[in-house]
């Protein structure tokens, strides 16, 4: 259990198989959010928890935006963790679900 970032810091790097597993779980989770019109807006390893059986769970939906269904439209607020922000957020453009994929 715990934050994905803690495991990554401890191990320095994941094996290709472990990384592929976490990426697949993250992609499925983000896809599910977007299908329900939810833009997370703060995807980062600190907001990804591992369950006791090693599955990934997204947390911290405090700045999420609901009702966003388009890749490039639906949000305009500058928010999120700076290191993970997509260029369109930094330049003040309207953005959508594509920015979660950038993170």
Active-site amino acid positions:
42
Identify whether the C-beta of residue 36 lies closer than 8 Å to the C-beta of residue 65. no
Q: In whole angstroms, how far apart are CA 46 and each of 8, 23, 32, 86? A: 10, 15, 20, 18
């Amino acid at each position: 259990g715990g934050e994905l970032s803690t495991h990554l810091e401890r191990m320095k790097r994941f094996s290709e198989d472990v990384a592929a597993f976490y990426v697949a779980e993250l992609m499925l989770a983000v896809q599910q959010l977007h299908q329900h019109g939810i833009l997370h807006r703060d995807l980062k390893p600190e907001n990804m928890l591992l369950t006791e059986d090693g599955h990934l769970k997204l947390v911290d939906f405090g700045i999420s935006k609901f009702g966003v269904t388009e890749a490039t439209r639906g949000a305009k607020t500058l928010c999120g963790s700076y290191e993970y922000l997509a260029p369109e957020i930094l330049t003040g453009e309207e953005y959508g679900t594509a920015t979660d994929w950038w993170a």
